[in-house]
Amino acid sequence: MPIISLGYYRPTPINHTPTPSSSHPIKMVHSYSCATFFTLFTLTFSSFTSAFTSQHYSDALTKSILFFEGQRSGKLPTNQRLSWRADSALNDGSSANVPLHTSSCFNVSLDGVDLVGGYYDAGDNVKFGLPMAFTTTMLAWSIIEFGDNMKGELDNAKDALRWSSDYLMKAATATPGTLYVQVGEPYSDHQCWERPEDMDTPRNVYKVSAQNPGSDVAAETAAALAAASIVFQDSDSAYSHKLLQTAKSVFDLADKYRGSYTDSLSSVVCPFYCSYSGYNDELLWGAAWIYRASQDASYLSYIQSNGHVMGAYDDVFSFSWDDKRAATKVLLAKGFIVDNIGELQAYKQHSDNYICSLIPGSPNSQAQYTPGGMFYYKQGQGQSNLQYVTTSSFLLLTYAKYLDSNGGHASCGSSMVTSETLITQAKKQIDYILGDNPMKMSYMVGFGDKYPTRIHHRGSSVPSVHDHPDRISCDAGHQYLNSQSPNPNILVGAIVGGPDSNDNYGDERGNYSQSEPATYINAPFVGAAAFFSGH
């Protein structure tokens, strides 16, 4: 069996045209020829050269964590480092903050609960539960796998995690049998261009329950709480225990009362964060995280009994806030590779299939790359591509770590792929984000000499309340959206949506698919940056 070991080499691409559809216009991307594949056999990880050192990755790690401070909602702590931000949404959850005429629509809550805190998902001022829970899971997983490399940033990473896990705990425990999954009426919010400190759009509160199920968002919340419980197990055992118990309770709600939050909440969550993949992937993902956190055999039994109908054997080739199938396989494969749990052996093969799909020239390759070498998965309008780059890079590095634990490899057809190959492939993608790309610019704000300056972000683009204390209204804010000037407030560490299929990036605030940052782009990057900062 030949061994594939990729060096830092960008093979000549051949044109590949995806199948057109009415909703997805044709994008010209690139795959790789079999001839190229065999050339790569001779290249080794030791031949890798990079413009970036461990110090650069440490700087990127620091900034990727700092970004989360710019996304904070609620009462800011005294050690807030992004000083242009101020307190916001201090009445979230209060019944007095919800317009009475909306109480019968879309499961709006008038319960009067404390939902202050958490994160704004991207460049707007809504707290969307599904991407926030996913962000929390990925921050926790980053710390679990690569926290030892974070050194002086570990406490900051844990602070970023706790900001969201505290909020999710509130959302899950405020009312028995209920999970609060969103704060903010999205349409009015998106019509305004207001900094969060000024926002006066309705702060409607939306929930799922037995009567109005949301298995997808509830199971992802369970995964987030369980993963966070692992992080805090040693430093705060009481908090860790509460996180895990709440995770189990929320998972029971998700599993017993099955249904998609897309159906329960309708246009409140669509087209913003529709659950396109359904909820089965989150149920298996949630069970996998609770099993890892608790080692409770009942969750292993659940996985064994339900995996085949919840996507365990679906070979899908993306990982995002919506679709968890690929990552669940990698997470469960650890049980076989590292912990020798025979019942989980099948997840090793399916993880191999996913990992091999990312390797250019592999017999199993499904990935498409831009001429400049960026993994390109973007589908449809309004989606950022770099979210797929950071999630896939994280999985490559995590799987490499698992394989390294026992000298294993991934099987790509008749060939073996080493952990070094996976690391090299991930490094290419991370380096692309940081500036090794045809535009010669970093797609992380504040990293390097050239980076996006007109990002699609309300708080960053509107003058800070410290510089402009007078309120800037909904309509008045549009002058800053439409301005050609750089954003006055630098959202350090923000990773934007990224370039198009031809590696072009226009740095236009109005082009939100390219210029908008999001917490779920950064969260997996934290783990990847931590890995390379220690190597």
DSSP for 183-224, please give it: ES-HHHHHH----TTT--S---EEEEESSS--HHHHHHHHHH
- pLDDT for res 312: 81
- Whether residue 335 lies inside any domain: the answer is yes
Average pLDDT over residues 344-365: 92
The structural domain count of the chain equals: 1
What are the CA-CA distances from residue 505 to residues 55, 135, 496 (Å)? 27, 25, 10
In terms of DSSP bridges, do strands 14-16 and 29-31 run parallel, antiparallel, or are they unpaired?
A: antiparallel
Name the more confident of 407 and 226: 226
- pLDDT for res 315: 87
- pLDDT for res 120: 98
Active site residue 457: no
Residue from 40, 39, 21, 19 nearest 29 by CA: 19
- Whether residue 45 lies inside any domain: the answer is no
Choosing from 436, 456, 457, 500, the catalytic residue is 456
Average pLDDT over residues 138-150: 98
How do residues 383-434 score in pLDDT, each as one tens digit? 799 999 999 999 999 999 999 998 889 999 888 999 999 999 999 999 999 9
Q: pTM for this structure?
A: 0.90
pLDDT at residue 217 greater than cutoff 90: yes
Active site residue 508: no
- pLDDT for res 535: 85
- Whether residue 401 lies inside any domain: the answer is yes
Active site residue 516: yes
- Whether residue 5 lies inside any domain: the answer is no
- Whether residue 106 lies inside any domain: the answer is no
The span from the CA of 40 to the CA of 35, in Å, is 9
The span from the CA of 141 to the CA of 133, in Å, is 12
> How many helices (H) and strands (E) would you count in the chain?
18, 8
pLDDT at residue 27 greater than cutoff 60: no
Average pLDDT over residues 232-256: 98
Residue 244 is encoded by which pair of tokens? 């895990």
Cis peptide before 25 (omega within 30 of 0): no
Average pLDDT over residues 216-237: 98
pLDDT at residue 255 greater than cutoff 70: yes
Query: DSSP letter string over 219-266?
Result: HHHHHHHHHHHHHTTTT-HHHHHHHHHHHHHHHHHHHHS---HHHHHG
CATH number at residue 501: 1.50.10.10
Tell me the pLDDT band of 381, cut-offs 50, 70 and 90. Answer: low
- pLDDT for res 237: 98
- pLDDT for res 363: 85
pLDDT at residue 29 greater than cutoff 60: no
DSSP state of 77: P
Tell me the pLDDT band of 317, cut-offs 50, 70 and 90. Answer: confident
pLDDT at residue 106 greater than cutoff 60: no
Tell me the pLDDT band of 238, cut-offs 50, 70 and 90. Answer: very high
By mean pLDDT, which of 33-47, 164-178, 186-200, 503-517 is the weakest?
Answer: 33-47
- Whether residue 25 lies inside any domain: the answer is no
- Whether residue 155 lies inside any domain: the answer is yes
* Percentage of the chain lying above the pLDDT 90 cut: 81
Report the chain's mean pLDDT, rounded to a whole number: 88
Query: DSSP letter string over 364-433?
Result: T----B-TT--B----STT--SHHHHHHHHHHHHHHHHHHHTTT--EEETTEEE-HHHHHHHHHHHHHHH
- pLDDT for res 14: 26
Choosing from 87, 263, 404, 507, the catalytic residue is 507
- Domain residues for the domain of 452 are 54-97+111-534
- Whether residue 273 lies inside any domain: the answer is yes
